[in-house]
Amino acid sequence: MVLQKLSKYTVLLIGVLLAVSCDQFKKYDHYKTLEKGSWHQDSIISFEVTLEDTLVPHHVFLNLRTDNRFPYRNMFVISTITSPEGFSFKDTLEYEMADAFGNWLGEGLTDVRNNKLFLLENYQFSTKGKYVFKVEQAMRKRGNVEGVNELLGILDVGLRIEEAQKK
């Protein structure tokens, strides 16, 4: 009986330690849910993050949670990062969401896929303070100049910042 209780507590302790240690490099991780699972072309998703660590490099990820209504193989976004001093860096980024055979990339066992996409890799923030990360979808149909008004299949948009692990 005592051995059985000890065994249960040991398994519980190992589970808690694994859960805590697996995400030890996380500095920020937040999602915003999109109404009706669609991303309007005028909708800018914004995250305000206070960063204090300027000594080590970080990875910044755009996290997209999609479902099978997402109609494209790739994803274009416009990203704007504003530093505490007010300097802004704007970039247009393209991400592959499916392979050449139409198989969805990302993680997930159902129709919902989690895609962890680099915004910045091994980036060392130069200043402590509040950074603003803004992301907007920039999808176009082939041959059309105007953007896709409602991009279906985007359930959540997230931002994750983690300390880059030394190799």
C-alpha to C-alpha distance for 27 and 24, rounded to whole angstroms: 8
94-151, pLDDT tens digit by residue?
A: 999 999 998 899 999 888 999 999 999 999 999 999 999 999 999 988 888 888 899 9
What is the chain's percent helix, strand, coil content, to nearest 5?
15, 50, 35
Residue 101 three-state SS: coil
* Six-digit token string for 29: 């991780």
As a CATH number, domain 27-163 is 2.60.120
The ranges assigned to domains in the chain are: 27-163
Q: What is the pLDDT of residues 21-40, one digit of tens each?
A: 456 778 899 999 999 999 99
pLDDT computed for residue 141 by the predictor: 85
Interior/surface letters 21-40, b for 16+ CB within 10 angstroms, e for the rest: eeeeeebbeebeebeebbbb
